Structure 1
Amino acid sequence: MMPVTFPEAAGPEGLRLYAIGDVHGRADLLASLHGMIRADLTENPAHDWRIVHLGDYVDRGPNSKNVLDFLIDAQEKDGRNLVLAGNHDVSFLDFLALAEPDGVFARNGGRETALSYGAEIDFDNPVSVDRGYVALVDAVPQAHVEFIKHLPRAATFGDFFFCHAGIRPGVPLDRQDPEDLIWIRREFLDWTEPFEKVVIHGHTPLKEIDVRINRVNVDTFAWHSGRLSAIVIDGAAKRFIQTQP
């Protein structure tokens, strides 16, 4: 397959794509951006559409539980809402299974996730970890666990490949390691040559949307900046929308 670059890449004819970056507990911004998408579809109707969420729904921000509730409800109401896994989401499940006091969840915003479920955990206090873990396991609905457990790692539409973190350069898209899709960073970010498809991703927070010839990063530090961003792909046309702080 010949490589493709961002300027020439196009989505499937008649299908508008919206891809949303890392949410990290900002249920307010997710609801706002979905409102902007609804308004966009009303003002500029599309024959068909998909909203692709690129992962990292939990941790750091204040309302991880509400984010998962929102996504589950949105997908149940309309299957055109696609939800991909991020490394923080998988690490949340790991903590629920293993109670690791020094894992990714514990050291990267897991306290805020626990609080959103009504569980207080001080990860520097072993007693608090033990008690908080029990409270959190009891508070997290099984529906949330099953939802995260079954999230796909990637989606493909037209000339675009969607995943949370990126891909392993030199490896065909259909042979990518699922772990790379949610964890990879430097090897992917430093690669300057075109891929089979243009990769739309998050995972690495930046102040602004980052458009490269081979990839687009729409993680704009939403939990901290108040700017949750999305790329809009309509055939060969591309544009961006984002919430404002």
Structure 2
Amino acid sequence: MAIYAVGDIHGHLDKLDRALALIEADGGPEAQIVFLGDYVDRGPDSRGVLQRLIDGRDGGKPWRFVRGNHDRMFLNFLNVAEIHDPQIKSGISWLNPRLGGDGTIASYGLSGAAQFLSPGTGGRETLVSYHLKGSSRLGLHELVEHAGEVVPQEHRAFIAQSELFVELGAFLFVHAGIRPGVALSEQNEEDLIWIRDGWLDYTGTLPWLVVHGHTAMEAPVHHGNRVNLDGGAAYGRPLVPAVFDEGRVWTLDEAGRQPLISAG
């Protein structure tokens, strides 16, 4: 049975809908799909993306959902008012447009302008205030309170219940990658959602063909031991779904299946 996968969506509902239509045209309405995370941030409709995925799941679609680093940052903002992640070495906050959290909360009606105090060397960017349109300037905890009122609980639960990886036979689906040489049961969450160093340059054999996103490319790339499906939808490029069938890999477009040849 064919398995379909969709890389980083980043709040682009229109691109997600196109990808879903391409998959349905190839595999029918009950196609098995694994989504690789980073559903939110940077794009204009993170709320719409999450709702579309939830509606599909609740409608009985055979879909699986992997958690991305941006999804976790959104959840940490909602749950503990955290806008920094130790993996962001620049110190910028999740609300900075470079990371795109401002676009995510705007999709829930919290459009506004953030004022930051820039980090010093090795420091963290501080949110001074958030000027919510039609309201006064809010501090971080006030902004989180407002978000708690408008972000549906089912959206929080969806992210919290997403998986760190999905193993399906000869394929392992994960957001960022794995630490080579470490058993799957011993993999660290930080690596699964953030890893680049020691992974992107790894050319050795693996127990599976690992399918991941996280590191944006110009288009999906087959590296032999892994397939990177982050084709840069967050940066103006298409969201390109892939199909894994009978040991071969294709991408999908309006003309149908296009072979994705290993460059490894």
TM-score normalised over the length of structure 1: 0.86
Residue 111 of structure 1: aligned partner: 102
Of the structure 1 ranges 162-171 and 112-121, higher mean CA displacement relative to structure 2 is found in 112-121
Q: Indicate whether 1:18 and 2:4 are aligned.
A: yes
Q: 1:106/1:123 Cα in 2 relative to 1: closer, same or farther (>3 Å)? A: farther
Q: 1:106/1:51 Cα in 2 relative to 1: closer, same or farther (>3 Å)? A: same
Shift of the alpha carbon at 1:209?
1.1
> What runs of 5+ residues in structure 2 fail to find an aligned partner?
86-92, 117-126, 131-137, 256-264
Q: Secondary structure at the match of 1:186?
A: coil
Structure 1: distance between partners of 2:13 and 2:58: 17
Look up the equivalent residue of 1:22 and give its one-letter code.
D
Q: Secondary structure at the match of 2:95?
A: helix
Q: Secondary structure at the match of 1:106?
A: coil
Shift of the alpha carbon at 1:159?
1.2
Q: Aligned match of 1:165 in 176, 200, 204? A: 176
Shift of the alpha carbon at 1:102?
4.6
Structure 1: distance between partners of 2:44 and 2:254: 17
Give a deviation string over 1:92-113, Cα, whole Å, max 9, x none. Answer: 0111123235555223100000
Give a deviation string over 1:193-243, Cα, whole Å, max 9, x none. Answer: 011111100000011211111100000111222310122011223211258
Q: Indicate whether 1:40 and 2:26 are aligned.
A: yes
Of Structure 1 and Structure 2, the greater helix share is in 1
Residue 135 of structure 2: aligned partner: none
Residue 119 of structure 2: aligned partner: none
Structure 2: distance between partners of 1:242 and 1:23: 16
Q: Which has the higher contact order (CA 8 A, sep 6+)?
A: 1
Residue 129 of structure 2: aligned partner: 127
Residue 156 of structure 2: aligned partner: 145
Of the structure 1 ranges 101-110 and 136-145, higher mean CA displacement relative to structure 2 is found in 101-110
Shift of the alpha carbon at 1:123?
5.0
Give a deviation string over 1:70-94, Cα, whole Å, max 9, x none. Answer: 0000111124111111010011011
Q: Secondary structure at the match of 1:66?
A: helix
Contact kept in structure 1, 2:115 and 2:129, CA below 8 Å: no
Structure 2: distance between partners of 1:205 and 1:242: 19
Contact kept in structure 2, 1:228 and 1:242, CA below 8 Å: no
Structure 1: distance between partners of 2:76 and 2:95: 11
Shift of the alpha carbon at 1:174?
2.9
Residue 166 of structure 2: aligned partner: 155
Shift of the alpha carbon at 1:50?
1.3
Look up the equivalent residue of 1:216 and give its one-letter code.
V
Shift of the alpha carbon at 1:120?
2.8
Q: RMSD over aligned Cα, in angstroms? A: 2.0
Q: 1:193/1:74 Cα in 2 relative to 1: closer, same or farther (>3 Å)? A: same
Of the structure 1 ranges 101-110 and 173-182, higher mean CA displacement relative to structure 2 is found in 101-110
Q: 1:243/1:114 Cα in 2 relative to 1: closer, same or farther (>3 Å)? A: farther
Residue 134 of structure 2: aligned partner: none
Structure 2: distance between partners of 1:145 and 1:28: 22
Residue 209 of structure 2: aligned partner: 198
* Matching of residues 75-114 of structure 1 within 5 Å: 75-103=57-85, 105-107=94-96, 108-114=99-105
Structure 1: distance between partners of 2:61 and 2:161: 15
Q: How many residues are treated as equivalent by the alignment?
A: 226
> What runs of 5+ residues in structure 1 fail to find an aligned partner?
1-14
Structure 2: distance between partners of 1:206 and 1:88: 17
TM-score normalised over the length of structure 2: 0.80
